[in-house]
Amino acid sequence: MHLTCLAIVGYALAAAPASPATKTDEVRAKVAAYLATHDVAQAPDLHALSPAPGKALMAIATDGHADGIVRARAVAALRLLPSPEVRAFLGRLVQDKAKARDADDRLLLRRAAIALGWLSGPRACEQLASLFDNDDPEVRVDAAIGLGLTRAAGAPRWLRRRLAVEKVARVRDQIERQLRALGQDPAGPQKPPAPRQRQPMRSGF
C-alpha cells in the first residue's frame, strides 16, 4: 500500500506542468549553453530559444557564479534586443562598475559600453563618458567606441573633452577615429554628427 501511494505521488509530480520558475531556469540554461559555444549571438537564435530572451540574458549577466566569458557574451547580446528595460539595465551596469578593477567586471563593462552605445538612449553619452575615469585603457577604448556608436549630438563633446587629457596613444587614436566617424575633425571645431551607420560587431566575445 505504501509503495502504491509513493508511485501515485511520483506519477502526479511527473505529470504536473512545470512551474514558471522551472521554465525560467530551463530557458536560462538553454541560453547559457548557446552562449558558451557562440562568440557573437544572433537575434534569430536567441528568439528561437525564448520569446523573451532579454530576461535570461540579464539574469546570466548578473550571476556571479556563471562563467565570466558567458556573462560577457550575455551582455554583448543585449545589443540585439532594444527596449527601455535593456537600456536601463546596461546603463545601471555601466554606472555600477564604472571604476571596476576586477578583470571579469572590466570585461562586462567593456561589453556593456559597446551594447549601450549601439542602442543609444537619452543618457547613454553621459553614462559612457563616466568610463573615461577607469584606470584600464581598454575600458576607455570601448567607451570611445560606444560614444561613437550612439551617433548622438552630444557625443563629440564628450570625446573632445577626453582627448584633451588622455595620455595613452591607443585611447587617443580611438577617440580621434570615432570623431572622424562622426564627421568631425579632431583638431577642428565641432560640427553636427554624421548620420548613423550600422557597424558589424567584433567577434571574440
98 in any annotated domain: yes
Q: Are residues 149 and 129 in the same domain?
A: yes
pTM for the predicted model, two decimal places: 0.82
pLDDT band at 203 (very low <50, low <70, confident <90, very high): very low
Q: Are residues 108 and 161 in the same domain?
A: yes
Q: Are residues 93 and 168 in the same domain?
A: yes
User: Which among 125, 54, 114 is positioned nearest to 85, based on CA atoms?
Assistant: 54
Range of the domain at 109: 83-188
Give the pLDDT confidence of 121-146 residue by residue, as tens digits.
Answer: 999 999 999 999 999 999 999 999 99
pLDDT tops 80 at residue 60: yes
Q: Are residues 46 and 31 in the same domain?
A: yes
DSSP reduced 3-state for 62 = coil
Torsion, Cα of 177, 183, 188, 192 (10° steps): -130
- Summarize the confidence of residues 173-192 as an average pLDDT: 88
pLDDT tops 60 at residue 109: yes
157 in any annotated domain: yes
Q: Are residues 117 and 51 in the same domain?
A: no
Chain centroid to CA 40: 12
pLDDT tops 60 at residue 190: yes
pLDDT over 70 for what percent of the chain? 81
Q: Are residues 41 and 52 in the same domain?
A: yes
Describe the crossing of helices 103-119 and 84-96 by its angle, rounded to 10 degrees: 140
Q: Which of 81, 100, 123 is the last residue of a domain?
A: 81
Distance set, CA 175 to CA 108, 128, 152, 169 (Å)? 21, 13, 15, 10
Provide the domain count of the chain. 2
Q: Are residues 73 and 98 in the same domain?
A: no
Lowest mean pLDDT among 6-15, 53-62, 130-139, 174-183: 6-15
Give the pLDDT confidence of 43-53 residue by residue, as tens digits.
Answer: 999 999 999 99
Cβ count within 10 A of residue 13: 8
8 in any annotated domain: no
Q: Which of 43, 66, 81 is the last residue of a domain?
A: 81
- DSSP assignment string, 6-55: HHHHHHHHHHSPPPHHHHHHHHHHHHHHHHHT-SS--HHHHHHH-SSHHH
Mean of pLDDT over the chain: 88
Cell of 188: 577642428
Q: Are residues 63 and 127 in the same domain?
A: no
- The whole-number pLDDT of residue 197 equals 54
